[in-house]
Structure 1
Amino acid sequence: MRFIGAKEKGKVQILGIPYDSTTCFRPGTRFAPDGIRFFSDNLEEYSLPLGKSLEEVEFCDLGNLYPSTAPEKMVDEVYEAVRKMEIPVILGGEHSITFPVLRALSERYENLTVVHFDAHADLRDDYSGTKYSHACVMRRVLELGVQIVQLGVRSATREEAELRMENTNIKVVETFEELKSLVSKIEMPVYFSIDIDFFDPAFAPGTGTPEPPGFSPVEFFNFIYKLPDVNVVGFDVVEVSPPYDPSGTTQMLAAKIVRELILKFWG
């Protein structure tokens, strides 16, 4: 199964990572990569708002990487895989997979900025006995020296809240207008990490840790469509959980995000 419009080769490369070994509430994100691909077949290759088609983009789908269940081994295996990719588009899986992706990209690009769309801060130092939990992913990313811009966070521990205020490598924005203004000024490489629980659970119920309220897909897509040229070097969509998405609404949203971002940045 491949994402709609995928070619045999291309510099933009989709990789699924069906991993949910550190999920702390409701597992199931391991089913997401193929679920997102399945629902992509309900899309047209053409985007009306962007006036572009996937037919015109040289991108491929590499299938799935099945890493070890142990988080420490998973990190090394995903890192080695992404090192070989040109422009990674990652289908999670839980959010812990983002750290090894950014570990690889931070070695390739100086002054990398991560735009982090999420309901949760993900800045715990450790959780459930591992530093590589999905609850710790942005803490590990921070240790790479990467700049993090967060939008949508509405759940955090006291320690995480204090870290967000004190660490100069974390920028917190509250609205898409603030984010647009900030991202438009970034000349360095940018990576988008999109946790599907960023959206209000009314729009994306199929996730392991839903957190009301949240943003709407309309707000997100309008931001993408109006964003000026940005040097985006990859993105991921994570934390979609098909067992909690019986109507397919969440998987459909994730598939459309993938299509629109590919067309926006590389179409």
Structure 2
Amino acid sequence: MGKIALQGIVYDEKSSYLEGPALAPPLIRSAYHNESANYFAESGLKVVPELFEDCGDFAIKDYFDIESITLDNLGKNLPLITFGGDHSITFPIIKAFHSLYGKIDILHIDAHSDMYNDFEGDPYSHACPFNQIMQNGLASRLVQVGVRTLSDAQRANISKYNVEVIEMIDFGHKPIPTFHKPIYLSMDIDALDPAFAPGVSH
């Protein structure tokens, strides 16, 4: 396996309830390097430190700087993993991917669809990135898995942009659609059972 680039986006200015996601990137690294961690999976996959080229954490002052930072790190010509950060960071990240690769397929795992036109007056809120992505024509396909709550406004946008949604109530009963080209995977930790991830803000 070739190397994988990492970037941390230290940003939670668009989180509407609790702050804290900006603390995640260094904490994820700390947990990974903890002596109790194991780099070797049951499948035989070796997730060893040598696998990664760490670009570091980026303290974001201007939301739109995220796009140029991501574009710079994509210039390493390596697959890129981003640690966030509230989910608003996804829109400028996808803009960077789109500028290099054109429209992409996205698999989005989340308790929320993040498909509002705006939230509390902000179209770039953490509740809106996937609506921005679809509205701006950045994705050829968006599949959302694990959604536990949908407003009428979000359902309207899902229908408008032909987003494929597997709600949590249907998870396990409906197969996850097959992808036929590389995908961008976006995961919000609140997709996990709250009993095991109680610290998320929503």
The structure-2 alpha-carbon separation of the partners of 1:188 and 1:135, relative to structure 1 and needing over 3 Å to count, comes to same
**Which residue of 2 is the match for residue 84 of structure 1?**
75
* 2:171 pairs with one of 132, 153, 175: 175
The structure-2 alpha-carbon separation of the partners of 1:75 and 1:14, relative to structure 1 and needing over 3 Å to count, comes to closer
**Which residue of 1 is the match for residue 90 of structure 2?**
98
Are residue 207 (structure 1) and residue 200 (structure 2) matched?
Answer: yes
Alpha-carbon contact 2:39-2:47 (below 8 Å) kept: yes
Once the two structures are superposed, what CA deviation does each residue of 1:108-160 show, in whole Å capped at 9, x if it has no partner? 22441110011111111122332211111101111234111001112232111
**Which residue of 1 is the match for residue 186 of structure 2?**
193
Query: Relative to total residues, which structure has the larger helix share, 1 or 2?
Result: 1
- Count the aligned residue pairs: 193
**TM-score (norm: length of structure 1):** 0.66
- Greater mean deviation of Cα atoms: 12-21 or 159-168: 159-168
Alpha-carbon contact 1:119-1:198 (below 8 Å) kept: yes
Give, as a single letter, the amino acid of the residue that structure 1 aligns with 2:37: L
CA distance in structure 2 between the aligned counterparts of 1:99 and 1:112, rounded to whole angstroms: 13
Residue 62 of structure 1 aligns to a residue in which SS?
strand
CA distance in structure 1 between the aligned counterparts of 2:171 and 2:65, rounded to whole angstroms: 34
* 1:157 pairs with one of 151, 155, 158: 151
Root-mean-square deviation over aligned CA pairs: 2.2
Are residue 47 (structure 1) and residue 41 (structure 2) matched?
Answer: yes
Give, as a single letter, the amino acid of the residue that structure 2 aligns with 1:204: A
Alpha-carbon contact 1:106-1:144 (below 8 Å) kept: no
Give, as a single letter, the amino acid of the residue that structure 1 aligns with 2:80: P
CA distance in structure 1 between the aligned counterparts of 2:103 and 2:121, rounded to whole angstroms: 31
CA distance in structure 1 between the aligned counterparts of 2:52 and 2:152, rounded to whole angstroms: 42
Residue 150 of structure 1 aligns to a residue in which SS?
strand
| Alpha-carbon shift at residue 176 of structure 1 (Å) | 4.9
Identity of aligned residues (%): 29
- Structure 1: 5+ residue runs without aligned partners? 1-9, 210-267
Alpha-carbon contact 1:12-1:59 (below 8 Å) kept: yes
The structure-2 alpha-carbon separation of the partners of 1:107 and 1:179, relative to structure 1 and needing over 3 Å to count, comes to farther
* 2:117 pairs with one of 116, 122, 125: 125
CA distance in structure 2 between the aligned counterparts of 1:35 and 1:66, rounded to whole angstroms: 15
Give, as a single letter, the amino acid of the residue that structure 2 aligns with 1:172: V
Alpha-carbon contact 1:109-1:189 (below 8 Å) kept: no
Alpha-carbon contact 1:82-1:101 (below 8 Å) kept: no
Alpha-carbon contact 1:113-1:191 (below 8 Å) kept: yes
Alpha-carbon contact 2:113-2:154 (below 8 Å) kept: yes
Alpha-carbon contact 1:75-1:99 (below 8 Å) kept: no
Are residue 22 (structure 1) and residue 18 (structure 2) matched?
Answer: no
